[in-house]
Every structure is written in structure tokens, then in C-alpha cells.
């Protein structure tokens, strides 16, 4: 779909996959109820408004549990507003492809996380569609909605009134409540140690597609320094972005700080955890100071995004090597080895598979 694979001689493609341009972006004004400014759901709305597609497949909240994702086939542009926001959990988005086809829909858009988009691309040809727009969001880790509820209960004493949660690139988790209150919790103060080791499943801990490389347009926040972060990957991605002309403010993404120290620290901790040892945690008295320092001197903007992609690559190698070593050959693409090389991780005999870089 991009006509080429990632080209590690082009800046940042080793980390983020093929792209034509990267942008910092915000919808102006932001959409109420959106996870960030609402670019993902607004794109779905524009595709329906302009008649470019018959339907958009996306995730809405379950009527019984707002944190449970429920796949929906949207045909009314106004109904895209009901898909705004992020819900942690798994739901079979692509199961809607069959019903869409049965209804005679031949022009579709899908908004999905990387594992959904990967599967979609694998069957795209068989679908026989006239047109397909793929809007992808990055995804670092997902978990079951039940697990997520347990996490919310550890974060706050009134978890049922939490309406929003985000792991922000300024090293804070932001939570919002039904009564309009907000809380910001530094990453270092999160109750991570109290979560079970399988809180994030092995599939997520060994995922090699954080940035949704097969999407036409990736819409995230990681490299956006408080705004959204767009990767326009091909001409269809350009077409999508042009549909927001006049309502989106665009700028060049910035980059600051150095990622090597934090990534090395992450590697050491992941090695300890994979070996069954407790995580090395900062002493309690130091945490507020480091929590204050990280957003100011830690990696920011694109450097933050690069650091997160490298951390995920390290996780893949360490967790897969421990849990399913025989899968290394087939599951670790060549570019992941390049990402972890500066940190002293190299393939053991039999681990390096074929495939492009
Ligand atoms: C589990 C998960 C982890 C994520 N991790 C990161 C990350 O580490 N870095 C990053 O930059 N971005 C991440 N994102 C994406 C981020 O949360 C925003 O969705 C994205 O920045 C778009 O914001 P927006 O305001 O444009 O979205 P909105 O306009 O509010 O639309 C949100 C869209 O997300 C979709 N969605 C919501 N929940 C799910 C779900 N469970 N599965 C599939 N699709 C869903 C909906 O269909 C909706 O279209 C993650 C998303 C999910 C679902």
C-alpha cells in the first residue's frame, strides 16, 4: 500500500515505518469527548459527509460499560461523535467486514489499532472493495477491559466516575472524572508494581508495530508534544488529511532531550523483570524530583516517540526470547534488530529471520 518498505536511510523510517511527512496537529476547535483533539473520528465523519465511503468501521463504547470497546459500522456522519475517546480492550472490529459486504458496501474506511490494521491488510485483496481508507492509531499496549477496571481501582478511590484516561508524553497519566475534576499522576507514582505480570498479554509485549505502519494515515500523540502526531504514509493518507483543510492546525514536530539513558534504564529493568527479579524502583523521596525533571529534561517530541519505539523493540526481544524462543526467527523483523543493536542486544544463533529490514 505504500509501494515500498521502510527505508532506514531516510530519517526516522527505521523507527516509525514508511512515511511521506510527519506533522504536529490539532483540530481547531477540538471535538468534545475526543481522546486528543478528535482527528481520528472527524476523519470518519468527513469521509461519510463527502460520500467518499459507504461506511466507517470503528469502536464505540459498550452501552453497559463505557470502557468496553464495541465495534460499530457507522453510516451516519453525526454518529461518528459516539466513537470518540479511547477504550482499553479488545473487540472484533474486522468481524464487521462481512456484514458490510452483505449490505453491498464497497467503499469502506476502518479506524483501528495496529493488530487490527495488520489483519485487515492481510485480507484486503480478498474483500474485493472498490476503495479502502485506513486510519490507524499507534498502540503501545492493550489489556482486557476487566484488567483495565482493576487498574482504575488502584488509581483512584472512585474508579466508576473516571471518564477519561491517557498516558501523556509528558510522563503523566491524566484522568478526568464525570464531575469535571482532573488528576495528573506522574508515571513514577503509578501502582505498576501492584499489577499482575500478565496485565499486558504477551502478544502486546512482543508487538513490533507500535506506530501502525500499514495505515494510510497514522493519527496519534506520541511525537506531538501535547498536540497530535500525524504520519502521512501514502497518497491516500494525503487525501485524508486534505479533507480536514481549514479545520486542522499543522506544524513541524519538534524533538528534544536524549533517549539513550532512559532506554538503557528500561532495558535493565525489563531484564530484571524477565528474570523474575523485582523492578528496581527509585527511592520514594526521589520520585517527586525525578517526576518533575522528566518532562523538562527527558526525551520530548520525536525523541520521546523514538524512545518508546526502542523500548517496545527491547521488550519484544527479551520477552519472546524468554517465553517462546523458537518464535524469534519468524516474529522478530530485521528492523527490530537494528533498533536494539545500540543497546547491546543481538540475535543469538537461529534467531535472525529472513525478510526485509
Ligand atoms: C489501546 C490503545 C492504546 C493506545 N496507545 C497509544 C500510544 O501509546 N501512543 C499514541 O500516540 N496513541 C495511542 N493510542 C491512540 C490514542 O489513544 C488516540 O486514539 C489517538 O491519538 C487519536 O486521538 P483522536 O482525538 O484523534 O481520537 P478520537 O477522535 O477521540 O477517536 C478515537 C478513535 O479510537 C478508536 N478506538 C477507541 N478505542 C479503541 C480500541 N479499544 N480499539 C480500537 N480502536 C479504538 C475509535 O474507533 C475512535 O475512532 C492508543 C489507542 C488505543 C485504543
Asked whether 307 lines ligand 1 (CB < 6 A), one says: no
The three cell numbers locating residue 51: 460520500
Whether residue 247 contacts residue 291, with contact meaning beta carbons closer than 8 Å, is answered with no
Distance from the CA of 342 to the center of ligand 1, in angstroms? Answer: 30
Tell me the pLDDT band of 279, cut-offs 50, 70 and 90.
low
- Residue among 77, 86, 301 to mutate when testing ligand 1 (max atoms within 8 A of CB): 86
Question: Looking at residue 84, what DSSP letter applies?
Answer: -
- Over residues 60-106, the pLDDT tens digits come to 999 999 999 999 999 999 999 999 999 999 999 999 999 999 999 99
Q: Are strands 107-112 and 131-136 parallel, antiparallel or unpaired?
A: parallel
State whether the beta carbon of 97 lies less than 6 angstroms from ligand 1: no
Given a contact cutoff of 8 angstroms between Cβ atoms, the answer to whether 59 and 83 are in contact is yes
Categorize the per-residue pLDDT at 331 as very low, low, confident or very high, splitting at 50, 70 and 90: very high
Q: Which of 135-139, 267-271, 286-290 has the highest mean pLDDT?
A: 135-139
DSSP state of 277: P
pLDDT tens sequence across 169-222: 998 999 999 999 999 998 888 887 788 888 999 999 999 999 999 999 999 999
Ligand 1 atom nearest 113 alpha carbon: 43
Q: CA 102 to CA 98: how far, in whole Å?
A: 6
Among 35, 56, 203, 213, the mutation site with the greatest number of ligand 1 atoms within 8 A of its Cβ is 35
Give the least confident one: 140-144, 154-158, 190-194, 261-265.
190-194
* 275 has a pLDDT exceeding 80: no
Q: Give the position, in ligand 1's atom list, of the atom nearest the Cα of 228.
A: 21
Query: Distance from the CA of 86 to the center of ligand 1, in angstroms?
Result: 5
Q: What is the pLDDT of residues 4-47, one digit of tens each?
A: 999 999 999 999 999 999 999 999 999 999 999 999 999 999 99
The pLDDT assigned to 286 comes to 74
| pLDDT at residue 289, as a whole number | 74
C-alpha cell at 251: 506544524
Determine if ligand 1 sits within 6 Å of the CB of residue 222.
yes
Task: Please give the mean pLDDT across all residues of the chain.
Answer: 94
* Helix intervals (H) in 217-333: 235-242, 260-274, 287-297, 302-323, 328-331
Is the distance from CB of 300 to CB of 255 less than 8 angstroms?
yes
Q: What is the pLDDT, as a whole number, of residue 357? A: 47
Is 145's pLDDT higher than 90? yes
Cell numbers given for 68: 468496553
* Element of type H or E holding 124: helix 114-127
Match 491517557 to its residue by C-alpha cell. 166
Amino acid at each position: 500500500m505504500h509501494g515500498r518498505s521502510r527505508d532506514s536511510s531516510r530519517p526516522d523510517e527505521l523507527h516509525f515505518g514508511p512515511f511521506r511527512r510527519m506533522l504536529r496537529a490539532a483540530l481547531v476547535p477540538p471535538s468534545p469527548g475526543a481522546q486528543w483533539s478528535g482527528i481520528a473520528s472527524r476523519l470518519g465523519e468527513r469521509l461519510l459527509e463527502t460520500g467518499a465511503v459507504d461506511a466507517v468501521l470503528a469502536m464505540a463504547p459498550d452501552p453497559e460499560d463505557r470502557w468496553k470497546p464495541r465495534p460499530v459500522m457507522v453510516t451516519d456522519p453525526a454518529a461518528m461523535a459516539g466513537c470518540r475517546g479511547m477504550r482499553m480492550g479488545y473487540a472484533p472490529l474486522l468481524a464487521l467486514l462481512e456484514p458490510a459486504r452483505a449490505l453491498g458496501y464497497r467503499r469502506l474506511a476502518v479506524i483501528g489499532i495496529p493488530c487490527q490494521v495488520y489483519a485487515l491488510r492481510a485480507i484486503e485483496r480478498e474483500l474485493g472493495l472498490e476503495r479502502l481508507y485506513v486510519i490507524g492509531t499507534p498502540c503501545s499496549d492493550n489489556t482486557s477491559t476487566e484488567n483495565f477496571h482493576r487498574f482504575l481501582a488502584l488509581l483512584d478511590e472512585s474508579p466508576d466516575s473516571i471518564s477519561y484516561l491517557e498516558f501523556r508524553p509528558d510522563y503523566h497519566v491524566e484522568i478526568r472524572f464525570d464531575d469535571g475534576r482532573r488528576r495528573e499522576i506522574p508515571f513514577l507514582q503509578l501502582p505498576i508494581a501492584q499489577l499482575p505480570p500478565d496485565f499486558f498479554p504477551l502478544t502486546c509485549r512482543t508487538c513490533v508495530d507500535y506506530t501502525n505502519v500499514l495505515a494510510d494515515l497514522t493519527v496519534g500523540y506520541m511525537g506531538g508534544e501535547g498536540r497530535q502526531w500525524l504520519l502521512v504514509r501514502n497518497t491516500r493518507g494525503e487525501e485524508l488529511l486534505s479533507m480536514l483543510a481549514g479545520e486542522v492546525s499543522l506544524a513541524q514536530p519538534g524533538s528534544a532531550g536524549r533517549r539513550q539513558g532512559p532506554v538503557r534504564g528500561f532495558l535493565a529493568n525489563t531484564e530484571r523483570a524477565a528474570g523474575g527479579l523485582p523492578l528496581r524502583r527509585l527511592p520514594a523521596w526521589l520520585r517527586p524530583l525525578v517526576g518533575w525533571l522528566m518532562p523538562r529534561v527527558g526525551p520530548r517530541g520525536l525523541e520521546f516517540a523514538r524512545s518508546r519505539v526502542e523500548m517496545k523493540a527491547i521488550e519484544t526481544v527479551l520477552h519472546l526470547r524468554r517465553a517462546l524462543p523458537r518464535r524469534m526467527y519468524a516474529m522478530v523483523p530485521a528492523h527490530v534488530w537494528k533498533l536494539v543493536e545500540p543497546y547491546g542486544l543481538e540475535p543469538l544463533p537461529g534467531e535472525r529471520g529472513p525478510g526485509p529490514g
